Chains A and B, each alone.
Chain A
């Protein structure tokens, strides 16, 4: 019966050690050394927080690059995916609608194959990136809507394509929010 008492005490001790001391220590150091990252990599523009570099946003205006479809409409208080299986009728119908929408918005010809990421939803519903191909196919729409040259838009796409990490890993894609911020500048 002594083991019951020991069990209770040791449970409480580890609760304090790993549940309070450890996370508070990490939080303290994080706020001291990496305050930007620890508080969500927030981006400010004209003294307002406009979002986080890591969290995708909902864009529907033709003047902005659009991100991937999202199961949670980029609300941020929730995250998640469609969880649709590969043979789901509803899912395939949804994808067809998305394909039609992207083709229409960007005035693409009907047979053109689309990059997968721009018509399929992400795992988090908050994916901040799209592939370079998915950005490039929107370039002429943006140029028209903003009355600037396509070359200028393409230049910004390349600028916002994140470089491969450690110079060797695959490049992670184009950050839609920072790209759109550059367009507004």
Chain B
């Protein structure tokens, strides 16, 4: 195939994928708005009995709403049960069924790390699935958290949006109701459809033991099995990203073809892209939804093009050795090639998914930097389900505060006055993750427990540490996999970083919602700054870049940027 035809095919893959995502996301956004406003839909007429049954058994009055503090309390309680339950399941798996490979209890620090990781929607993995977790643990523990942690994110996002739609009230919704609706009307139906697409393409779904085969050269090989497709579906729809296998979606059983790769990328983008439109529908200003979407889309495209250009240029050091074009296929699968792998990697860090179809550690330095930047700015380019939109709206609050200062009026956003309490909460939300990255990263580079786990030296070693804590604090879960993170130090440090990242987003968001919902709307005046126009989009883009850039620039200069320059000078480490 000529280069031109090749590029055309790749271009077609990407445009088709992104176009289909948008075409599906717009109506999905409208649907989500309906679901959380309690309106009737076709899906509701099919599954309403299930929703009602859940309320009946657990004694929930769906009309009784919560104050923001009760909402926070419920989220915390639910997360504690999740962490505790998942930890226990891993310790007891040796005595439970569906453990054909006779895996014993998971080492306690690994199990604790995994429990926190999955309950916070991070899905950072310091274990390797096919050697550690029984089928039952995967299904009943990990897959469940894929659902409920994602649903928690969506629920909190809906409560956050209510802060902008309500006035003079103390309540922001009922967490149990929002959680149930996320699962029953959104995540579960979509997962079922996606799982079937995956299985028809070759993703496995079996409860039989691993198969031992004799290869053509008479060696023995183990073919692992498991209930993979059902888990991979929610892994992407819920932007979870935890792999059934160690190699995650590079594993042929987790991502066997270009078609599954297509749908995996589509699935991780789908709900995060739909949420701005749901937001527009809920605040009754669809233009506002589009302007939020535009902000995200601009950042997404610019970064994707940059990353692709640099990765296609390859590695000059490999070229010197005699590889055609210096093409960087290290850590990438032949069936995906360079461009699809970059799109996957960019999407997985732009959203907070964290699933990988190629090894990020082996990317050339500038694409690596873009992945780091995506996580560093807080995963707001579409972002994780729910939390991504929250993050960007908090950037929007900050933007309106700056705008207010510039034009000399008291700041407001969507008709709500922004006061010290909202600004305090916004700053906590925006600054905690970078603080966590820099403090834990600083500790890791100063002690031998931090440095001895590295797989690479020189500036790339610094990038590995930075990536580890950016991923944990951003609740992403992808890794520069060279770091041997299954040590006491990394298991503890990343656990703390994950908890900080998760709850300094959720709690401030609910606090802001609680405060805004009490305020009355300010009538629009002639000096009101409209927020669904291009100038607002540009301001927001700039604020996001400046915040991300200023916070991380020094350490990015010492890591990927330095490595890029040294790579071209021929230095190795």
Query: What is the CA–CA distance of A85 and B262 in the complex, to the nearest angstrom?
Result: 27
Highest count of chain A CB atoms <10 Å: which of B141, B227, B571: B227
- Inter-chain contact B58/A6, CB cutoff 8 Å: yes
Most A C-beta atoms less than 10 A away, residue of B199, B247, B482: B247
Are A78 and B131 neighbours in the complex by a CB distance under 8 Å? yes
Q: Is B59 an interface residue (CB 8 A)?
A: yes
Q: Is A106 on the interface with B (CB-CB < 8 A)?
A: no
Please judge, given known A-B contacts A165-B258, A173-B335, whether A89 and B131 are in contact too, CB under 8 Å: no
> How does the 8 Å CB contact mask read for B349-385 relative to A, with 1 for contact and 0 for none?
0000000111101111100000000000000000000
- Taken together as a complex, chains A and B put the C-alpha atoms of A87 and B330 apart, in Å, by 12
B221 touches A18 (CB 8 A): no
Task: Flag whether B246 is at the interface (Cβ < 8 A).
Answer: yes
In the bound complex, how far is the Cα of B131 from the Cα of A75, in angstroms?
12
Asked whether, in the complex, the Cβ of A68 is within 8 Å of the Cβ of B334, the reply is yes
- Report the minimum CB–CB distance from A56 to chain B (whole Å): 8
Contact between chains at A114 and B322 (CB < 8 Å): yes
Q: Is A138 an interface residue (CB 8 A)?
A: no
Q: Which residues of B contact A116 (CB under 8 A)?
A: 314, 318, 323-329
Can you name the residue of chain B whose Cβ is closest to the Cβ of A127?
B333
> Which residues of chain B from 219 to 244 have any CB-CB distance to chain A below 8 Å in the complex?
219, 221-225, 227, 229-231, 234
Specify which of B140, B222, B231, B567 is in contact with A15 (CB 8 Å cutoff). B140
A99 to B372, CA, bound (A): 32
In the complex, the answer to whether B323 meets A123 with C-beta atoms within 8 Å is: no
Given known contacts A7-B78, A87-B567, A124 and B250 CB-to-CB distance under 8 angstroms:
yes
Contact of B331 with A121 in the complex, beta carbons under 8 Å: yes
The digit string for A23-59, where 1 denotes a CB below 8 A from any CB of B, is 1011101110010011111100000111111111111
A10 in contact (CB, < 8 A) = yes
Q: Known contacts A55-B252, A57-B215, A114-B322; is A7 also within 8 Å of B81 by CB?
A: yes
Neighbouring B residues of A55 by C-beta, 8 Å: 221, 223, 252-253
Chain A contacts for B147, CB-based, 8 A:
14, 18
B8 nearest in chain A by CB position: A168
Taking CB atoms, residues of chain A closer than 8 Å to B535 are none
Sort chain A's interface into a size bin.
35 or more
Interface centre among B211, B329, B364 (most CB of A within 10 A): B329
Q: Which of B208, B318, B327 has the most CB of A within 10 A?
A: B318
Q: For the complex, is A146 an interface residue (Cβ under 8 Å from B)?
A: no
Contact with A along B516-559 (1 / 0, CB 8 A): 00000000000000000000000000000000000000000000
**Residues on A with beta carbons closer than 8 Å to the beta carbon of B460:** 85-88
A93 to chain B, nearest CB (A): 9
The answer to whether A122 touches B246 (Cβ under 8 A) is: no
Q: A41-B256, A123-B357 are in contact. List 20 more A-B contacts (CB 8 A).
A: A6-B58, A6-B59, A10-B58, A15-B140, A22-B230, A38-B206, A85-B464, A85-B563, A86-B362, A86-B365, A86-B567, A87-B567, A92-B572, A99-B321, A120-B331, A122-B250, A123-B331, A124-B247, A164-B9, A171-B1
**13 A-B Cβ contacts within 8 A?**
A13-B54, A13-B57, A19-B140, A22-B191, A30-B206, A39-B225, A60-B217, A75-B221, A92-B321, A116-B325, A119-B323, A120-B329, A170-B10
Nearest 4 Cβ contacts at the A-B interface: A123-B250, A83-B482, A85-B460, A79-B247
B residues sitting closer than 8 Å to A (CB atoms) are 1, 6, 9-10, 12-13, 54, 57-60, 70, 73-74, 77-78, 81-82, 85, 128, 130-131, 139-141, 143-144, 147-148, 176, 179-180, 183, 188, 191-192, 195-196, 199-208, 210-211, 213-217, 219, 221-225, 227, 229-231, 234, 245-247, 250-253, 256-259, 262, 314-315, 317-318, 321-335, 337, 340, 356-359, 361-365, 455-460, 463-464, 480-482, 563, 566-567, 571-573
